[in-house]
Amino acid sequence: MSFDTPVLLLVWRRPQTLIHVIDALRQVKPSTLYVACDGPRSTRPDDVEKIQAVRALIESEIDWPCRLFKLYSDVNRGCKIGVCVAIDWYFENVDAGIILEDDCVPTASFFRYCSSLLDRYRDDQRIWSISGANFQNGLTRGDTSYYFSPVPLVWGWATWRRCWQHYDPDLQQWPALRRSGLLRSVFPDPVQHRYWTRVWDRLHRLGLPDTWDYQWTFTCIVNRGLAIEPSSNLIKNIGFGVDATHTTDVDYRTPESSELVDFRHPEFMVPDQDALNYGFYHYQQRPLILRGARRVRSILRRCIARRLSV
């Protein structure tokens, strides 16, 4: 039996992680699969061989009956433009679907979870994103199968064309939102408010970092859209390491994934602030703290070395 909800697979230069994602897809056999692959960087000759290996895997390992659509670039567009072009292309052809990257390995129940909620909230303008990741380390948030958050997680996720068409890649609305002061109603915690203000300031002024997901968070928030997060983690991110684009130096463990056995819907559509705070301080903020600690250690080592050399 095949799985009828369309899936977009974003791939690039990591065949060693991609094969695990394909193995997970094979368990459900999506009948419609879109694959987008960015091109090689001119400064990295080894990209060509790795991208060729990735595209060869797509040809050889997508071995179940499905409609396969491919968007392959000959040039490198980068993380922001490459992903934006791919998702734009996807939603030109489908009105709702699942999006996976080549390092996010889903559980079997992830697909059923996304498909069910895409149908349930198809016309509900309050819901904008369905996340497969959960950063609560096993902490229970109520007795339902999912809860709501103002911040979407994109390690395996799903959405609708009705939402993505509002995507603001250049944060054109950020100056007005910043001046309004309304962001404090979303992030009453001053640390989180300061974190997101700095992120969006830097993106708006400098276009850095080269990414697309902070803009998706902004788009959901500025349109008062809620994200759904599962009560247990349905995605294992295996992409941390030297071959990653943004997570090369993050040395913390990601949550273990597990199946979502039951399926119980929340009675109230209210964001879970405790879950938001826990996820921020244990996963979003923690990499910054670790990098800061490493910088301090490096400075101390240099100071000690100078004293010893005197």
287: pLDDT strictly greater than 70:
no
Tens-digit pLDDT profile for residues 142-155: 899 999 999 999 99
Nearest-angstrom CA–CA distance, 195 and 173: 18
What pLDDT does 308 receive?
A: 59
Structure-token pair, residue 113? 């979870």
- The arithmetic mean of pLDDT across residues 212-231, rounded, is 97
Average pLDDT over the chain reads: 89
What pLDDT does 247 receive?
A: 46
Phi, psi of 163 (to 5 degrees): -90, -45
Name residues whose C-beta falls within 8 Å of residue 236's C-beta, 6 or more positions apart in sequence: 104, 105, 254, 256, 257
Nearest-angstrom CA–CA distance, 17 and 8: 16
The number of helices, as runs of H, and strands, as runs of E, in the chain is 11, 10
Nearest-angstrom CA–CA distance, 77 and 99: 19
Nearest-angstrom CA–CA distance, 114 and 135: 18
What pLDDT does 301 receive?
A: 60
Structure-token pair, residue 166? 């509002």
Do the Cβ atoms of 260 and 147 come closer than 8 Å?
no
Task: Pick the more confident residue, 246 or 85.
Answer: 85
What pLDDT does 35 receive?
A: 98
Q: Is the pTM of this model over 0.85?
A: yes
Tens-digit pLDDT profile for residues 87-97: 999 999 999 99
Q: Kindly state the helix (H) or strand (E) to which residue 18 belongs, with its residue range.
A: helix 15-28
- The arithmetic mean of pLDDT across residues 56-79, rounded, is 97
Nearest-angstrom CA–CA distance, 178 and 38: 33
Which of 123-127, 152-156, 255-259, 301-305 is the least confident region?
Answer: 301-305
Q: Tell me how far the alpha carbon of residue 230 is from its chain's centroid.
A: 14
Q: How far is CA 180 from CA 2, 43, 169, 198, 222, in A?
A: 48, 42, 20, 16, 12
- The arithmetic mean of pLDDT across residues 191-201, rounded, is 97
Identify the structural domains of the chain with CATH numbers, from first to last: 1-102 (3.40.50), 106-310 (no CATH)
Nearest-angstrom CA–CA distance, 104 and 24: 10
pLDDT confidence of 21, banded at 50, 70, 90? very high
β-strand partners of 30: 3
Tens-digit pLDDT profile for residues 227-268: 999 999 999 999 865 454 444 444 444 567 777 777 899 999
Task: Pick the more confident residue, 116 or 287.
Answer: 116
Which of 28-42, 46-60, 270-284 is the least confident region?
Answer: 270-284
DSSP labels for 156-222?
SEEEEHHHHTT--TT-TTHHHHHHHTTHHHH--SHHHHHHHHHHHHHHHHH--SS-SHHHHHHHHHH
Which of 5-9, 171-175, 186-190, 241-245 is the least confident region?
Answer: 241-245
Nearest-angstrom CA–CA distance, 150 and 126: 11
